[in-house]
Amino acid sequence: MTPETIEAERVRLRPFHLDDVVDTATACADPVTRRGIAGLPDPYTEESARRWITEGAPAAWTRGGAAYAIAEPGTDRLLGGIDLSQPVPTRGQWEIGYWVAPWARRLGVATAAARALAEHAFAAGCARLELLTDEENTASQRVALAAGFRHEGVRRAADPGRGGDRKDLVAWVRLADDPPGPAVRLLPDLPDGRLSDGVVTVRRVAPGDADPLHRLHTLPEVVANRVPPVPPARESIERRCRLAESHWLAGRSADLVILDAASGTTAGGCALMYDEPATGQAMLGCSMLPEARGRGLTTRAVRLVAGWAFDIGLARLWAGTRPENVAAQRALEKIGFRREGLLRGRLPGPDGTRTDSVLFGLLAADPRG
């Protein structure tokens, strides 16, 4: 369905040949490549590469797909591989996948190849391309966005993985009539990776934040505001930290850690949940560790996050507190949030009870403290 060779900006897509054996074996034995492709032989040897080049890649074409080597236009050296698989002709649908050799990473190779192959596939009659990534493979997810693929959801337990355990896969989709260029992100990255006023700094949650965030979210007063109000397991906090970037890229949430700017120590956590993209509304929540309370850090952190949210185009932020949480209400009012009402029995409480929630709202046009 696509030409034998595709010349594109920065890359050439061509058939694999036997001169690629050594580079293919080296690249596919690399730990990063292996994490992204569960079905690779283990160990991956030059014989494995030879079988792929002489049998696997030609079979992809026979099954109605395609298998290209990504090569450097000037030298023709192998930079990676990209393919079309899982054809569903009745739907006009294929799945696109890629890998990049260690010596070619962070050079835009995968993005250039994915854009080129997608355009040729659409020109040949494809209507829909799917791109599936491991939830923790955020590098591949950034490639998907840069190549014009939009987040569509999560395929639960879609990847058999190694050792018999199944993993979820994130689905990214591009249609033939989607506009060219990168997909628009609902939640762009923070400028320079962080926000700071010199007293507090906020940045995206990372895997190394599991210890302080587990301590924070198991405090009784913080647990009382969770839904449901039960302490989280350590494993769930670790998973949350590992997937924070993926959820951000998908436009679901901006999960943030609050730092004391002077010492660099963790002061608390903040989360922006983009619950209504169609209306430009998001929920904002914040919790602080005991040693960071009473110093105005909550107000500073929420002010920074709210300002960033409105800068990227959100129209309204809302926050809810328990009626007795006067400190949180005062912090919201200092920033400019207005009390909008009481939602009776909105949240599940302990032992089957229901808890009221005081609703606060802030508009982009509202004056801020």
Q: Taking 80 as the threshold, does the pLDDT of residue 175 lie above it?
A: yes
pLDDT grade for 199, boundaries at 50, 70 and 90: very high
Percent of the chain with pLDDT over 70: 99
Tell me the pLDDT tens digit for each residue of 252-305.
Answer: 999 999 999 999 999 999 999 999 999 999 999 999 999 999 999 999 999 999
pLDDT grade for 182, boundaries at 50, 70 and 90: very high
Please report the domains of the chain, with CATH numbers, ordered by start residue. Answer: 6-175 (3.40.630.30), 191-363 (3.40.630.30)
State the pLDDT at residue 84. Answer: 96
Q: Taking 60 as the threshold, does the pLDDT of residue 239 lie above it?
A: yes
Tell me the pLDDT tens digit for each residue of 82-115.
Answer: 999 999 999 999 999 999 999 999 999 999 999 9
State the pLDDT at residue 254. Answer: 98
Which has more confidence, 25 or 161? 25
Q: Taking 80 as the threshold, does the pLDDT of residue 163 lie above it?
A: no
Q: Taking 60 as the threshold, does the pLDDT of residue 1 lie above it?
A: no
The whole-number average pLDDT for the span 114-126 is 96
**Burial degree of 318 (CB within 10 A; 0-12, 13-18, 19+):** middle
Give which of 167, 164, 165, 148 is closest to 243, Cα–Cα: 167
Tell me the pLDDT tens digit for each residue of 306-346.
Answer: 999 999 999 999 999 999 889 889 989 999 999 999 999 99
Q: Taking 80 as the threshold, does the pLDDT of residue 369 lie above it?
A: no
